[in-house]
Structure 1
Amino acid sequence: MTALTPPPPKPARLNPADVIRVGGSGLRSRPMRAFLSALGIALGVAALLGVVGISASSQEELNRRLASLGTNLLTVTPGKTFAGGTAHLPDQAVEMVAGIDAVESVSAIGETDANVYRNDLVPKAETGGISVYAARTDLPETLGIDVVDGRWLTAATARYPAVVLGPEAAERLGVFETGPDVQVWLGGRWFTVLGLLAANELAPELDSAALIGWPAAKEELGFDGYATTIYTRVEEASVTDVQQLLGATANPQNPNEVEVSRPSDTLAAKHAADDALAGLLLGLGAVALLVGGVGVANTMVISVLERRAEIGLRRSLGATRGQIRTQFLCESLLLSILGGLGGVALAIAVTAAYAGYQGWPTVVPLWAMTGGAGATLVIGCLAGFYPAVRAARLPPTEALAAT
């Protein structure tokens, strides 16, 4: 009677924890090689993210500078009536403009017919070209006005004879400091100099102006209360749409008697710069990613080829081809994860250091971090898959002969 031959035992299956442990053992057994390989991957990722981060920080600084030039500032002024006379804006024009959804902030000034002098002995004909405006207390929020000495008008001081001078007006009047004893002759009475302004690029007309509170202008100067210029800050994406609405909103009864400024040319320049820098980021990022991918592939190919003897030994002890592939794919992914995380941290540090040195805001786009790390994992997987498959197909005797 012929004895039955028992079937060969099935190879043990590797659960996920075993796969990670086996993959990690390959890294632990050669710590220096693993460190250098992870360093190569990290440098590739850091090159990608560093290029993108520094370029994005530079772009953010450019956008911030362009925004300071008033890319989203629109002005509303009264035009001419049908008969050719000077029109005026309604009393509620500022509040109606503020009701537009895309408007971020709004303020106004009103021109008076008063003159200002250093004292009451200066001839009235020598006005010095200084205009006197009634100003709303929220004007600095819209125009980004900076006070270099003293303070701006408040709800309390706007009711009293207090004045804030633009830099050119202060120079012409010979006023270089503020204080309760520093006064100018304005509209036939003394006004205390409350503050001195810095030059303003958005509203250069204020540099040679004397600004007083809206209530004080009505009480002391007989101001009629009509705004002559409404400054409007708008959401950048809605500048063109809001421009078309401002005339009818500021003066619903006579929209043809309103003049609205066109969007700043700087806004078009900003959009062009955004498009150009976006293309630059994509190009540089693709090149850096290609370089990093080549480094990852080279590292994994060499790693697998150096361990052909180990592969042959494991095959002779019963490991299947699938287990060999899984082991080296896991090792490749672990190596990529370590290198990817290290590269992200290194890129953030380099970008922050360079941006800080240049005085720029630090910007490392989230899409770049996730994309760079994700692409490294994909490249590491692909780079480790081919040599793992090739090594797994070697007969155990041929693999052991590689020693």
Structure 2
Amino acid sequence: MAMTKVLTPGPTPGRDPSRDPGGEQRAAARPGQTPALASARMRPRDVVRVGGSGLRARPLRVFLSALGIAIGIAAMLGVVGISASSQEDLNRQLEALGTNLLTVSPGQTLFGESSHLPAESEGMIGEVGPVTAVTATGTTPAKIYRNDHIPAAETSSVSVTAARLDLPKDVGATVVSGTWLNEATHRYPATVLGAKAADRLGVVEAGPEQRVWLGGQWFTVVGVLAAAPLAPELDTAALVGWPVAEERLGFDGYATTIYARAQEASVVAVRDVLAATANPEKPNEVEVSRPSDVLAAKQATDATLNALLLGLGGVALLVGGVGVANTMVISVLERRAEIGLRRSLGATRGQIRVQFLAESLLLSAIGGIGGVLLGIGVTATYASFQSWPAIVPVWAMLGGVLATLVIGGLAGFYPALRAARMSPTEALATP
């Protein structure tokens, strides 16, 4: 019986299998092929191993490219972290000081002249139901100097202010040295300096031997205040008792600022009636404010600046992405022989693409993780100098790493595509 020989069509002589779009698929489907040639897929472990080996071969270039990514991520994370830390510090301050403080001060008349509050204003404001505390200060014409040899023109921008005894408690001010005025000292030449006033006058701490030249006479510094966030005008003031201000400093007795605490739920309602309550005849000559709103406005200003800095961080991150793309393009050009050898041994175009894309992603991931760690360090260091709680949002850290992976993928896409398109003969022929 005659035997029939079945012929299997082979490759056409002179034809480059790499230029046959279906060649790789047909080769992978042939039975009996080795595993390396039969499968066009690489396990994730193999992808990481192959990508890592390419990076280890060029440590300096990889370090510089990763550094560019790290700087961009650190800048962005630092801006977000410092802003969040500042916000948390503000929230803690407001929680401790309260947002229910309102201030009442005289405005101007219809003719542009300075007005003043009636002497009964404090008492009338105290009669408002939701108001829980009322205190006041009054500006005096007296001047203060470190000693009696200072020229009269050099006032150091420190004002002399009469104060009620319950002022610190109601405005949230604290004494850092000495004591506050009391029933025994507010009738005598004694003063408490605000934080900036003490610094400008060269007073380090309060004490019986510490005196200043105030209103043409010596006053003993009995206390020094810490900075008062809700009443910053106290920071540049020398505070004296109300009676001694009237008796010795030419004070007319009219309050220039009234501080009122109201129940939290009624702050807005109280603010609406304070002007008419303080000066029923001329409510248009009264100014009412909420100090916590000023702090919130300052925070909004800081947020605008942070947005600008965030944009600069984004530019730095883009520059890092360009560095990654540059590294990968050069890597493709330098490794043509390697690409050709792998293609000759059966590596598919998809495997070559995956290899170079994996290198790009690993390089970006290294830069991203390094940038996150650097950003956390910058935030923690700055926050410690400012005595803030160090806050770095988790979403910012995850977003930073994700951003680097996206940039790495985009930066490595073209080099990976270019490497995959190389034919084995072209790549091996490259010197």
Normalising by structure 1, we get a TM-score of 0.59
Question: What is the distance in 2 between the residues matched to 1:364 and 1:255?
Answer: 50
How far off is 1:385 after superposition? 1.7
- State the match for 2:271 in structure 1: 246
Match of 2:47 among 6, 9, 22: 22
- State the match for 1:374 in structure 2: 402
Question: What is the distance in 2 between the residues matched to 1:289 and 1:13?
Answer: 34
SS at 1:167's partner residue?
Answer: strand
- State the match for 1:40 in structure 2: 64
SS at 1:108's partner residue?
Answer: strand
1:146 matched to 2:175: yes
Match of 1:391 among 419, 425, 430: 419
Question: What is the distance in 1 between the residues matched to 2:352 and 2:193?
Answer: 80
1:307 matched to 2:328: no
Question: What is the distance in 1 between the residues matched to 2:320 and 2:338?
Answer: 28
- Alpha-carbon distance change, 60 to 378 in structure 1, aligned in 2, over 3 angstroms: closer
SS at 1:144's partner residue?
Answer: coil
- State the match for 2:134 in structure 1: 108
Q: Deviations over 1:234-290 (max 9, x none)?
A: 99xx9xx956642448999x9889855235696697367436513421431232122
How far off is 1:337 after superposition? 0.9
Q: RMSD value over aligned CA atoms?
A: 5.2
How far off is 1:30 after superposition? 5.5
- State the match for 1:12 in structure 2: 39
- Alpha-carbon distance change, 32 to 211 in structure 1, aligned in 2, over 3 angstroms: farther
SS at 1:261's partner residue?
Answer: strand
Unaligned runs of 5+ in 1: 99-106, 112-128, 179-192, 213-227
The one-letter code matched in structure 2 to 1:86 is: E
The one-letter code matched in structure 1 to 2:239 is: S
Match of 2:358 among 314, 319, 330: 330
- Alpha-carbon distance change, 330 to 50 in structure 1, aligned in 2, over 3 angstroms: closer
The one-letter code matched in structure 2 to 1:299 is: T
1:293 matched to 2:321: yes
How far off is 1:134 after superposition? 4.4
Question: What is the distance in 1 between the residues matched to 2:306 and 2:161?
Answer: 46
Match of 2:258 among 215, 229, 233: 229
Tell me if structure 2 keeps the 8 A contact 1:293–1:379.
yes
Question: What is the distance in 1 between the residues matched to 2:341 and 2:120?
Answer: 97
- Alpha-carbon distance change, 74 to 382 in structure 1, aligned in 2, over 3 angstroms: same
Match of 2:5 among 2, 6, 14: 2
1:262 matched to 2:289: yes
How far off is 1:389 after superposition? 1.5
1:209 matched to 2:233: no
Tell me if structure 2 keeps the 8 A contact 1:247–1:260.
no
- Alpha-carbon distance change, 320 to 131 in structure 1, aligned in 2, over 3 angstroms: closer
Q: Deviations over 1:182-208 (max 9, x none)?
A: xxxxxxxxxxx9x63437634479843
- State the match for 1:86 in structure 2: 120
How far off is 1:130 after superposition? 8.1
SS at 1:378's partner residue?
Answer: helix
Question: What is the distance in 2 between the residues matched to 1:269 and 1:136?
Answer: 25
How far off is 1:341 after superposition? 0.8
How far off is 1:11 after superposition? 2.5
SS at 2:324's partner residue?
Answer: helix
Percent identity between the aligned chains?
42
- State the match for 1:198 in structure 2: 225
How far off is 1:296 after superposition? 0.9
More moved, 36-45 vs 256-265: 256-265
How far off is 1:293 after superposition? 1.3
How far off is 1:386 after superposition? 1.3
Tell me if structure 1 keeps the 8 A contact 2:356–2:412.
yes
- State the match for 1:96 in structure 2: 130
- State the match for 1:283 in structure 2: 311
Question: What is the distance in 1 between the residues matched to 2:262 and 2:224?
Answer: 20
Aligned length: 320
The one-letter code matched in structure 1 to 2:327 is: T
